[in-house]
């Protein structure tokens, strides 16, 4: 279980901003999201999309605890 | 001071507060970015941040600026949410002993904020809404500092 | 707006006024110069101007800046008379469509004001008073624009 | 007759800031001031001292009217 946050165009694509998803790792989480919404699954792996777990950027897989906060960050536009 | 705000702010009030009580700071530079109407092409700008993460990322660059330019102090305030034409979006203030450092640090911080800071920006205009990415000019501006 | 004033001023109040009601100006840069205490070495700064002539000479450079950087607007306010440590001496604001022009124009105006504007400056310190001339750095800064 | 203004260090040297002096030209004015105060006369011709008549910089001699304002401007220090 993890709290998932989507930002910018990812939010518009998925139609939601924040959800709880059952997953013990980032890889499992991506799989679960892609199984439900193939377009979102593809977008999450798109160029420049970064992933943060508990507000720290991570690359590759990572274990998730029940209270993890996972954020998918599309390319930042600046202010 | 690094802060995100959801409501309109007055850059002058921030500058008053920032300059007060300084007796060894010779130089304060500021920049205020204002939402342009673009002659009606943009009606509202919408800025999304990742609360906590966005301030922390800006804080890292602020620390770099402090060290690189020997700043005495700095302040960054950024609007999020919906912003109408003519409303301030961002305010940056830098304090240093001399003016060159204050100017350069302010310029450096703005180049970072405009090109890399964790914001997602949507422009709402008469023809609909679109997500915006940094311009080639924004990237080139940031490259000046590397 | 180009103005000399004999009493203390709040740069924030000037910035509030300067940013108000702009819908096509994307960028406002400001600079505030503050009298440094220099750890007690300078107690009071005394600035003399030639009223009328000083504003007119500054006005000529302001016109240059407007044209060269395509400014939408500018404001320059300068203290004269006796100025205590921590008090603002000068405030410059520039408004432009984009930030590079606003920053450069502000920087340009300050380099001129610090090195060539018709002011005569006396520093009063514990060891007496002395007239000050621009530093080599001030001249070098101004040369960047020629 | 002209109103004469001294600025910066010139004022300290002369001990006055503003005076009326009888003179029909700048050259005559300089002569009158030097006759009365040799140190001031020398300083007025010093390096970087500029002269303004009615707020416009002039070089060399110039006629003065009874209402002319003549300012001697030592090197400007900037603000």
Check if the beta carbon of residue B70 is closer than 8 Å to that of residue B97: yes
Distance between B50 CA and the closest CA of chain C, angstroms: 24
Residue D46 CB-half CA count within 13 A: 16
pLDDT tops 80 at residue A66:
yes
pLDDT at residue B67, as a whole number: 98
Buried b (16+ CB within 10 A) or exposed e, D19-57: eebebeebebbbebbbeebeebeebbeeeebebbbbeee
pLDDT tops 80 at residue C39:
no
- Taking 3-state DSSP, the helix, strand and coil percentages for chain A, each rounded to the nearest 5, stand at 30, 30, 40
Report the CATH superfamily, name and number, of domain C2-143: Molybdopterin biosynthesis MoaE subunit (3.90.1170.40)
pLDDT tops 80 at residue C33:
yes
- In the predicted model, what is the mean pLDDT of residues C43-51? 93
Taking alpha carbons only, the member of C81, C82, C62 closest to residue C73 is C62
Taking alpha carbons only, the member of B85, B88, B111, B112 closest to residue B13 is B88
| CA–CA distances in Å: residue B6 to residues B53, B85, C22 | 16, 15, 20
B41 touches C: beta carbon within 8 Å = no
Q: In what order do the strands lie in the sheet with B128-132?
A: B81-83, B44-49, B119-125, B128-132
C141 with B25: Cβ contact below 8 A: no
Tell me the three state secondary structure of residue C143: helix
pLDDT at residue D43, as a whole number: 96
Residue D78: CB atoms within 10 A of its CB come to 25
Give the C-alpha separation, D73 to A43, whole Å: 70
List, in order of start, the domains of chain D with CATH numbers.
2-73 (3.10.20.30)
| CA–CA distances in Å: residue D16 to residues C37, C84, D20 | 30, 25, 11
Residue B132: CB atoms within 10 A of its CB come to 17
Give the C-alpha separation, D38 to D31, whole Å: 10
* pLDDT tens-digit series, residues D35-78: 999 999 999 998 889 999 999 999 999 999 989 999 999 999 88
List the alpha helices (DSSP H) in B6-98. 11-19, 53-69
The complex scores an ipTM of: 0.90
pLDDT at residue B140, as a whole number: 83
* pLDDT tens-digit series, residues A5-53: 999 999 999 999 999 999 999 999 999 999 999 999 999 998 889 999 9
Of C14, C31, C38, which has the smallest distance from its Cβ to B29's Cβ?
C31
* pLDDT tens-digit series, residues C68-79: 999 999 999 999
**Chains C and A are touching, with contact defined as 3 or more CB–CB pairs separated by less than 8 Å:** no
List the alpha helices (DSSP H) in chain C. 11-19, 53-69, 99-115, 136-143
pTM of the model: 0.92
* pLDDT tens-digit series, residues B11-41: 999 999 999 988 789 999 999 999 987 777 7
Q: Which has more pLDDT, A18 or C37?
A: A18
Which residues of B fall within a CB distance of 8 Å from C110?
99, 103
Find residues 17-46 of chain D whose CB sits inside 8 Å of chain C: none
Give the C-alpha separation, A57 to A53, whole Å: 6
């Amino acid at each position: 279980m993890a709290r998932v946050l989507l930002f910018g165009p990812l939010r518009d694509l998925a139609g939601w901003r924040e959800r709880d998803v059952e997953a013990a790792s980032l890889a499992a989480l991506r799989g679960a999201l892609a199984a439900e919404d193939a377009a979102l699954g593809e977008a999450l792996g798109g160029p420049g999309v970064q992933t943060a777990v508990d507000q720290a950027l991570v690359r590759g897989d990572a274990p998730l605890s029940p209270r993890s906060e996972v954020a998918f960050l599309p390319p930042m536009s600046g202010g | 001071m690094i802060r995100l705000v959801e409501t309109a702010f007055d850059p002058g009030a921030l500058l008053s507060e920032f300059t007060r009580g300084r007796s060894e700071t010779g130089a304060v530079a500021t920049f205020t970015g204002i939402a342009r109407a673009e002659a009606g092409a943009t009606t509202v700008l919408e800025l999304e941040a990742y609360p906590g993460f966005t301030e922390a990322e800006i804080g890292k660059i602020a620390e770099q600026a402090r060290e690189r330019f020997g700043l005495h102090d700095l302040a960054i305030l950024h609007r999020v949410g919906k912003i109408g034409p003519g409303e301030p979006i961002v305010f940056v203030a830098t304090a240093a002993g001399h003016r060159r450092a204050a100017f350069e640090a302010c310029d450096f911080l703005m180049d970072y904020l405009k090109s890399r800071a964790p914001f997602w920006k949507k422009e709402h205009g008469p023809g609909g809404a679109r997500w915006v990415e940094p311009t080639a000019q924004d990237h080139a501006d940031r490259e000046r500092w590397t």
